[in-house]
C-alpha cells in the first residue's frame, strides 16, 4: 500500500514509518518539522520513502499529498496538555481543524487509522477498567481536541481509531515528557524523584507495539473500521508508585520520595481494558521491563542535554 503519514517525523511517526517500510509499504511523510529533528534521516536511502515539508492545515497542499494514497495515518498534532495550553489556537487548528479538513478531502476508499489519547477517559477511580463504551470526559484542551477529532472520523463509519495508552520507549525523535520515559530519565541522571498522588493509575504501551497496532489495523481494516480500540499493555495498568518501584529494580540507587503535600497538574487516574483490540487479533507484547532497560541504554548515549549548564 501507499501510506500517507502526517507528522511522520515525530516520536511515534519515526518508528511507524520504519515499520511500514519494513512491511513492504510505500510511505509518504508530511511534516512541518516543528522541532527541527532529523529523525527520518535513517529512512532516506529507502526507495519507497518520500518526504514533504508541509503544514497539514494547508488545503491545496494536502489535496496534492493525498493523491494516490491507499491509507492515511494522521499523526500531526500538538501533543500533550502542557504543549496545548501554551498555544490553544495552534493546538485546536492542528489537532482538530486539520482532521476535519483531511476527512473532507479524502476519498471514502482511502483507509484512515487515527491515534487518540486514552486520557479522554479523564479522572476515573483507577479501580474500574475503562472500555470503549466508557464515557469520555477529557480534562485538558489536548484531550478534548483529540476526542472531538475522533468523533469527526467515526461519525462516517469508515475509520479506525486507536486510543493509545501512555507510550514509552526510545525513538529517533525522543520525548522525555512521557511518564515512563521521564521517570527513567531522572532515575539515571538525577538519581531522585518526588512523586505526587502516588496511587493514581495509568496504562502504558511501547512505541513499537503502537506501530505494530497501526499495521494490524491497516491489514484488518474492513473488520475493524467504524470503531475505536483501546491500545495498551494489559500488564501495565499500574500506579505511579508501582512504576517508580519497577524502575528502581533496574536503577537500585534511585531514591523516590512520595509526597503527601502538593498535587500533580495531570489528574488522570484510570485503568483500561484492551480486550476489544485483542479480540481483533492484536496484543501488545513489549513489557515495561523491556522498555526501561532500553531507555537506560539510550540515556547513557545522550550525555549532557542542551540548556543544561552542567
* pLDDT at position 310: 41
Q: Where are the domains of the chain?
A: 2-168+204-233
In angstroms, the CA 231 to CA 165 distance is 6
Looking at residue 120, the DSSP 8-state letter turns out to be G
* pLDDT at position 176: 93
Q: What is the pLDDT of residues 224-276, one digit of tens each?
A: 999 999 999 999 999 999 999 999 999 999 999 998 876 666 667 889 999 99
* pLDDT at position 119: 79
Please tell me which residue, 76 or 156, carries the higher pLDDT value: 76
Please tell me which residue, 147 or 305, carries the higher pLDDT value: 147
Give 11-37 as a DSSP string.
TTHHHHHHHHHHTT-EEEEEE--TT--
User: Which residues are CB-neighbours of 181 under 8 A, at least 6 positions away?
Assistant: 168, 169, 174, 175, 295
Question: What Å distances lie between residue 182 and 166, 173, 189, CA to CA?
Answer: 12, 15, 10
CATH superfamily for 2-168+204-233 is NAD(P)-binding Rossmann-like Domain (3.40.50.720)
Q: Does residue 308 register a pLDDT over 80? A: no
Q: What is the pLDDT of residues 98-107, one digit of tens each?
A: 999 999 999 9
Distance from chain centroid for Cα 64? 26
Q: What is the pLDDT of residues 134-150, one digit of tens each?
A: 988 888 899 999 999 99
Q: What is the pLDDT of residues 177-232, one digit of tens each?
A: 999 999 999 999 999 999 988 999 999 999 999 999 999 999 999 999 999 999 99
pLDDT-based confidence at residue 124 (cuts at 50, 70, 90):
low
* pLDDT at position 305: 65
Q: What is the pTM of this model?
A: 0.94
The answer to whether 34 touches 58, Cβ cutoff 8 Å, is no
Q: Crossing angle of helices 240-250/179-189, nearest 10°?
A: 40
User: Which residues are CB-neighbours of 144 under 8 A, at least 6 positions away?
Assistant: 138
Mean residue pLDDT of the chain comes to: 93
The answer to whether 206 touches 244, Cβ cutoff 8 Å, is no
* pLDDT at position 265: 64
- The secondary structure element, H or E, covering residue 193 is strand 192-196
Amino acid at each position: 500500500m501507499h501510506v500517507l503519514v502526517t507528522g511522520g517525523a515525530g516520536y511515534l511517526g519515526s518508528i511507524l514509518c520504519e515499520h511500514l517500510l519494513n512491511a513492504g509499504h510505500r510511505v509518504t511523510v508530511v511534516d512541518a518539522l516543528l522541532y527541527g529533528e532529523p529523525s527520518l534521516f535513517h529512512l532516506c536511502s529507502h526507495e519507497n520513502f518520500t518526504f514533504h515539508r508541509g503544514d497539514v492545515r494547508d488545503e491545496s497542499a494536502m489535496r496534492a499529498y493525498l493523491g494516490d494514497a491507499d491509507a492515511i495515518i494522521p499523526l500531526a498534532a500538538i501533543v500533550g496538555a502542557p504543549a496545548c495550553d501554551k498555544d490553544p489556537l495552534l493546538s485546536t487548528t492542528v489537532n482538530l481543524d486539520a482532521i476535519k479538513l483531511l476527512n473532507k478531502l479524502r476519498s471514502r476508499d482511502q483507509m484512515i487509522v487515527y491515534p487518540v489519547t486514552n486520557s479522554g477517559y479523564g479522572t476515573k477511580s483507577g479501580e474500574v477498567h475503562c472500555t470503549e463504551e466508557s464515557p469520555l470526559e477529557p480534562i485538558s484542551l489536548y484531550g478534548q481536541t483529540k476526542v472531538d477529532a475522533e468523533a469527526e472520523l467515526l461519525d462516517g463509519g469508515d475509520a479506525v481509531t486507536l486510543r493509545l495508552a501512555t507510550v514509552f520507549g526510545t525513538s529517533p525523535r525522543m520525548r522525555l515528557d512521557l511518564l515512563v520515559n521521564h521517570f527513567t530519565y531522572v532515575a539515571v541522571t538525577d538519581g531522585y524523584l518526588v512523586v505526587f498522588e502516588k496511587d493514581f493509575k495509568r496504562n502504558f504501551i511501547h512505541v513499537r507495539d503502537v506501530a505494530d497496532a497501526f499495521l494490524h489495523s491497516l491489514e484488518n481494516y474492513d473488520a475493524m473500521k467504524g470503531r475505536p480500540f483501546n491500545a495498551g499493555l494489559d500488564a501495565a495498568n499500574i500506579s505511579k508508585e508501582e512504576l517508580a518501584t519497577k524502575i528502581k529494580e533496574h536503577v537500585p540507587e534511585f531514591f523516590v520520595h512520595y509526597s503527601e503535600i502538593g498535587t500533580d497538574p495531570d489528574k488522570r487516574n484510570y485503568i483500561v481494558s484492551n480486550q476489544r483490540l485483542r479480540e481483533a487479533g492484536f496484543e501488545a507484547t513489549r513489557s515495561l521491563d523491556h522498555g526501561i532497560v532500553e531507555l537506560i541504554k539510550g540515556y547513557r548515549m545522550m550525555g549532557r542535554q542542551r540548556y543544561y549548564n552542567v
